[in-house]
Structure 1
Amino acid sequence: MKCLNHPLRSALAMLAVGAPLLQAHAAELLERAVLPSASFSTGPTSGQFATGGNGVVTPFINKQPVQGFSAVLPGAQDGTFLVMSDNGFGNKANSNDALLRVYAVRPNFKEGTVTPVNRFTGEELSDFTSESYITLSDPWHKVPFAIVADGDVYPSTPVGGGAAIPVDPTIKAHRLLTGSDFDIESIRRAADGTLWFGDEFGPYLIHTDSKGRVLEAPIPLPNFRKLPSTLGGSEVNPLIQAVSNPQRTLPANLADSGGFEGMALNASRTKLYALLEKAVTGDPVRERLLINEFSLKERKYTGKTFAYPMESANHAIGDFTALTDTQFLIIERDSGQGVATDPRFSNPARFKKIYKIDLKRVDGNGFLIKEEVADLMNIYDPRDVAGDGKTDTVFTFPFTTIEDVLVLDNNRLLVINDNNYPGSAGREFGVPDNNEFIVIHTAPLLDCDGGRKPDRADREYGWKDGRGRDDKECRPAKE
């Protein structure tokens, strides 16, 4: 991709980070499908410790919300995807009864809908039943600390007070994992079919079989840069440990919800690259996030770390996925939601972008160099894919958290929001956000040779310049 030096970079970021920012071509909205916010799967009662929001009342009797998508993988059949829900309702205390699940879905972009499917065959289902999901569990007692399933009652107090609530018998019998045990935010599928999850409470790497059953003790993150904690205490913790880490005995050096928000698997499928969502508390550069390399063959971290520079210390990352062995995409976002033109949004969304990095390209200060791929607050929609009755207009993705990006080919990305059901309302004030699946067209993600000959996508979308070409000799990695 040929990019120009970005003309606007804050002086603070230049001084603190020093990595040049490169400008991108505008992305175009190609497809959009929506899964309603009030979508539920079979399971035990949930939300007994969570406060409702946006008019939604908890708990959810004998069901689990299908929400909070924080990662996406290709499904078993073309056109299907696996989407991973995060810890449930936002933190350890309110997610005791939220099961950790991965759902199989099929977006129907012609109809604008998303339906559950059988995770093996891709056959459409009328409801989110056990055919459509896996639930993480610890049947072989690999987790070395107490989990919710080990107790007789849930560890938190119900909303509104009252007596302790017995742990659901299904959770106990099958040692199902909940959002009080781990906060999973990323998932990758290894070449052997096993699954790796990135957790925020530890942060840990969690290794399961294809059915979500834990295979080995969760793997902690060493403090390779030996950064001291600023959260109290003088001893340097040899591990990176969040405040909620259940095994921590030394001062925490990572804020809660700061663990592995993004995790990429390289194209050779030999290494994981786990990206922290927040800076380590002892890092003098607050705009820097660390990427840690993990060898799947050796089952351990290699000790190599890379520094990703955020545009602001108040930003966070949303997802991290591979293009090649060294090139990756990262979603970087602010914490705002809604649009600035609606005064009811006190903290509107302003910064939601996708960048490309290359581990072989760093600046003089050791920071990865970023190339902007797409501005999710400025997506071109000339064909009114959004369905708002307007053409030659801008489509925005104004959600608090956008945590899913999947490479479809060298010019197309699937992007999904995390709707934090029922708490987030970025599309319409006071209304719980749906799960939106969008496909956007970008400039080529990888440099490719050859002419610009029209392809199927050009005919479908009416392009005349050959920009829909899918270069068979230059395709990005796919899981």
Structure 2
Amino acid sequence: MNVNKAVSSTHHSKLRVSVAGLTAIFSVVSTFYALGLYVPAIAVELVGRAVLPANTFAPGPTSGQLISATNEVSVPFVEKLPVQGFSAVLPGPKPGTFLVLSDNGYGAKANSPDYPLRFYAVEPDFASGRVFPVNVKSGGRLSQFSRQSFISLSDRRNKTDFPIVAEQNIYPGSISPSQPQGIPVAATIKSRRLLTGADFDLEAFRRVSDGTYWFGDEFGPYLLHTSANGQLLEPPIPLPNFLKLGDRPFIQSPDNPAFANLPTDQERVTAANLPRSGGFEGMALNTSGTKLYALLEKPVVSDPQRDRLLINEFDLATKRYSGKVFGYRLEDPSHAIGDFTAINDSEFIVIERDNRQGDPNNPNFSDPAQFKRLYKVDLRQQDEAGFVKKDLLVDLLNISDPQGLGGNGTVNGRFTFPFVTIEDVLPIDANTLLVINDNNYPFSAGRTPGKPDDSEFILIKLDQPLNLAASRS
């Protein structure tokens, strides 16, 4: 509002803007900022959307034997794996293609021993709105997901320093009244020493200049290093407790193998200093290709700052943590992060989200999503408490869709991305971001109540360009 113009259009004697009045206004706005209730307008636009149907499968051993049917999906999946749960994305073998990482399978260590860990190569066709499998080496389009479209992770060199599923005869936790002898481990998992969702929960990955991959895991949390074809190259690397939060030398979740012999789950939770599903959810590679920045999903249990997530710097030349730790401040302690991606050597993008799902415009959702956002952070700028500078980039629940690309996700020209977990962001160019949801197949139903979520690939045009450097990841 132009105050001078407003004054000139009214009687000066009837309109007075006092210093006290302006002070009161600024006080209210400052309070809104402090409480996280003020969200500046951001003019971002949906410029592409492609969908991979929820019920998409690839060849593999029978899986889903330790989960229950839900959202009209029957289990188990006989001799196949759902292509789902994308928790990280990288550029693919040729322009327009991408590598997408499936996480541990079905969301927990106990229910995913029959899910081999792997990543897929895909091509979202934004003209047709479809997502196609491609050859993981060449990028050539395939008619269906096949063994050419993915790379499986394995421990053929015996690098893990704890027992893995492939070394066992029956799946852990598979003995039940209906299966008194347990469920035998699939022959392919045993013979190829495939890593599974009961061994690691992979939520992030980066490709480095020598063609090898680094993965961020939640169970340890660990960093994993594999060859280009997915073979583990060295033992999992644990996270030291650099800030001395509590008395444990390492940051460890209840699913860490160190606690595997404790008799009850409650004892494992008590022994750990990180909540379950609180490990490495995001892991960025700086654009110089020299450092990894591993970001925890939840605060350390003994950290008095309950809105703080730790970012730990890892030096690729020495394959050691540098000891540098940065703080990321959550907008609310109940939130979690979904991904951590480099813009340049010092600026990064973070996905921050609440634990709700469903379009706020859809009355069929009783507890819809309220907070799904992308932030830009700068590691060069920290406050006195060590928190990095943070600026809002995108509100994923309020995206302009003037072209009508959003299908059933758009209401009155506004597109929402209301999924409980959104775990993939990648800059395509300085003005465009690719964002993908983790559909938690078959459990999440954030788009249509009672229906398993598809995997949606969206392109978002930003209102201001990023200072984007060429990335090696």
- Label 1:161 to 1:307 Cα distance change in 2 as closer, same or farther (>3 A): farther
- What's 1:243 paired with? 254
- What's 2:124 paired with? 107
- What's 1:232 paired with? none
The 2-side partners of 1:134 and 1:223 are apart by 33
- Label 1:9 to 1:268 Cα distance change in 2 as closer, same or farther (>3 A): farther
CA contact (8 A) 1:25 1:374 kept: yes
The 1-side partners of 2:39 and 2:385 are apart by 17
CA contact (8 A) 1:446 1:476 kept: no
CA contact (8 A) 2:209 2:472 kept: no
- Label 1:95 to 1:356 Cα distance change in 2 as closer, same or farther (>3 A): same
CA contact (8 A) 2:206 2:213 kept: yes
Corresponding residue to 2:394 among 349, 365, 374: 374
- What's 2:330 paired with? 310
Corresponding residue to 2:195 among 171, 177, 192: 177
CA contact (8 A) 1:41 1:66 kept: yes
1:348 aligns with 2:359: no
Corresponding residue to 1:88 among 105, 109, 119: 105
CA contact (8 A) 2:409 2:417 kept: no
Amino acid at match of 1:244: D
Corresponding residue to 1:151 among 143, 147, 168: 168
Moved more, 346-355 or 408-417: 346-355
Amino acid at match of 1:221: L
- Label 1:8 to 1:171 Cα distance change in 2 as closer, same or farther (>3 A): farther
Please list, as runs of the form range in 1=range in 2, the aligned pairs for 1:14-29 lying within 5 A after superposition.
23=40, 25-29=42-46
Q: TM-score, normalised by structure 2?
A: 0.88
- What secondary structure does 2:128 align onto? coil
- After TM superposition, give the deviation of residue 387 of structure 1 in Å: 3.1
- Label 1:160 to 1:476 Cα distance change in 2 as closer, same or farther (>3 A): farther
Give aligned-pair identity as a percent. Answer: 55
The 1-side partners of 2:54 and 2:332 are apart by 30
Unaligned runs of 5+ in 1: 1-5, 15-20, 229-235, 448-473
The 1-side partners of 2:41 and 2:348 are apart by 15
The 2-side partners of 1:358 and 1:61 are apart by 47
- After TM superposition, give the deviation of residue 11 of structure 1 in Å: 4.6
Q: TM-score, normalised by structure 1?
A: 0.87
- What's 2:147 paired with? 130
Corresponding residue to 2:351 among 325, 328, 331: 331
Number of residue equivalences: 436
- After TM superposition, give the deviation of residue 123 of structure 1 in Å: 1.2
Determine which structure has the larger helix proportion and give its number.
2
**Greater Cα radius of gyration, structure 1 or 2:** 2
Please list, as runs of the form range in 1=range in 2, the aligned pairs for 1:256-275 lying within 5 A after superposition.
256-275=276-295
The 1-side partners of 2:111 and 2:410 are apart by 41
The 2-side partners of 1:361 and 1:22 are apart by 22
- After TM superposition, give the deviation of residue 10 of structure 1 in Å: 6.1
- What's 2:76 paired with? 59
- What secondary structure does 1:359 align onto? strand
Q: Deviations over 1:196-228 (max 9, x none)?
A: 000000000000001110000000000000101
CA contact (8 A) 1:410 1:476 kept: no
The 2-side partners of 1:392 and 1:383 are apart by 12
- Label 1:386 to 1:242 Cα distance change in 2 as closer, same or farther (>3 A): same
1:477 aligns with 2:459: no
- What's 2:420 paired with? 400
- Label 1:86 to 1:415 Cα distance change in 2 as closer, same or farther (>3 A): same
- What secondary structure does 1:134 align onto? strand
- What's 2:436 paired with? 416
Unaligned runs of 5+ in 2: 1-28, 263-267
1:218 aligns with 2:236: yes
Q: Deviations over 1:115-156 (max 9, x none)?
A: 100011111111211100000000010001000000011111
- What's 1:322 paired with? 342
Q: Deviations over 1:93-123 (max 9, x none)?
A: 0001011110000011100000100011111
Moved more, 24-33 or 53-62: 24-33
- What secondary structure does 2:380 align onto? coil
CA contact (8 A) 1:204 1:219 kept: yes
The 1-side partners of 2:106 and 2:201 are apart by 10
Amino acid at match of 2:150: Y
CA contact (8 A) 1:142 1:215 kept: yes
The 2-side partners of 1:365 and 1:60 are apart by 49
**Two-structure CA RMSD over aligned residues (Å):** 2.1
Q: Deviations over 1:174-209 (max 9, x none)?
A: 000100000000000011110000000000000000
Amino acid at match of 1:302: S
- What's 1:433 paired with? 453
- What's 2:219 paired with? 201
- What secondary structure does 1:170 align onto? helix
